Amino acid sequence: MNLILLGPPGAGKGTQAQYLIERYGIPQISTGDMLRAAVKAGTPMGVKAKECMASGALVPDEVVIGIVKDRLQEPDCGKGFILDGFPRTVAQADALQGCLDQLGRGLDGVIALQVDEDALVERLTGRRSCPACGLGYHIKFDPPTVADTCRCGTGLVQRDDDREETIRKRLQVYREQTMPLIEYYQQAESLIVVDGMLEIETVRDDIQAALQAG
Ligand code: AP5
Ligand code: MG
Ligand code: ZN
């Protein structure tokens, strides 16, 4: 199963990827997570990406395209993959197509999660995540059993770019640079539009039903 999760910041890409990993036994490829790891480790790529990410802008296409191309060729992608947060520009979508053609693989679905902007801001300001295992939570919509603590026992943290001003910038970048991909994949006839405003489990079930039907 070769999938793309497309949607604005806070739409639930990471949340839904967790279910798809379990369901299909395929890895999540989140460019955001990979870039955050590079920033934390202080690698040359991380140093380059840090400022863009902190301001809510996109990291240059050639950087992310390079990461994804390498990642797709790792053995655990043999059964499939879930791209989360990539592609985000038409140039990235074209590069992905070239890469998949080369590997002799296609896409089984591009899941577009649709969520209103006010809801996105509420989701992102209330998001918390685990720095150890990466699990995500929401203080209101998906709270941890023990306050501020992951089920693995680690204290939860807030992402640096989840401040309201940066969130607004990320939403603007999404509208300008990523929204055109909805049309792009509609034309390629691989688009699956999902109402991401519904409850987390309902969205999960709707995605699975759509993938089974396809
Ligand atoms: P990235 O990490 O990809 O962030 P993003 O796209 O802004 O998306 P988020 O991770 O914020 O949201 P999500 O959709 O995963 O939502 P989640 O499931 O967590 O990118 C970060 C930065 O890296 C970019 O700004 C850019 O600088 C750079 N970057 C990354 N990829 C790049 C690329 N390809 N090209 C260039 N630059 C790139 O859910 C959010 C919250 O809502 C959680 O708290 C969750 O519990 C809650 N929630 C989820 N679903 C629901 C629901 N149905 N109802 C209620 N609450 C819900
Ligand atoms: Mg995410
Ligand atoms: Zn954890």
Q: Over the stretch 82-128, which tens digit does the pLDDT of each residue have? A: 999 999 999 999 999 999 999 999 999 999 999 999 999 999 999 99
The pLDDT score that the predictor gives to residue 188 is 85
The pLDDT score that the predictor gives to residue 177 is 98
CA of 87, closest atom in ligand 1: 34
Catalytic residue among 105, 159, 163, 169: 159
Q: Closest Cα to residue 167, out of 7, 5, 9? A: 9
Q: What is the mean pLDDT of residues 50-78?
A: 97
The pLDDT score that the predictor gives to residue 190 is 87
pTM over 0.85? The answer is: yes
User: What is d(CA 26, CA 211) in angstroms, rounded to the nearest whole number?
Assistant: 14
Within a domain: 70: no
Within a domain: 65: no
User: How do residues 126-147 score in pLDDT, each as one tens digit?
Assistant: 999 999 998 999 999 999 999 9
User: How do residues 4-54 score in pLDDT, each as one tens digit?
Assistant: 999 999 999 999 999 999 999 999 999 999 999 999 999 999 999 999 999
71 flagged as catalytic: no
Range of the domain at 130: 2-26+79-213
Within a domain: 106: yes
Please list, in sequence order, all residues whose beta carbon lies within 8 angstroms of the beta carbon of residue 129, skipping any fewer than 6 positions away.
Answer: 135, 136, 137, 156, 157, 158, 159
Residue 149 CB-half CA count within 13 A? 7
For ligand 1, atom 30, which residue shows the shortest CA distance?
32
Give the largest CA-CA distance in the chain: 48
Within a domain: 191: yes
> Is 189 a residue whose pLDDT tops 90?
no
Q: What is the mean pLDDT of residues 196-207?
A: 98
Query: 136 CB under 6 A from ligand 1?
Result: yes
Query: 93 CB under 6 A from ligand 1?
Result: no
Within a domain: 182: yes
Q: What is the mean pLDDT of residues 70-84?
A: 97
The pLDDT score that the predictor gives to residue 214 is 77
Within a domain: 68: no
The pLDDT score that the predictor gives to residue 93 is 98
Q: What is the mean pLDDT of residues 199-208?
A: 97
Within a domain: 62: no
Q: Give the total number of structural domains in the chain.
A: 1
* Domain at 150, CATH number: 3.40.50.300
Within a domain: 9: yes
> Is 153 a residue whose pLDDT tops 80?
yes
What is the percentage of the chain residues whose pLDDT exceeds 70?
100
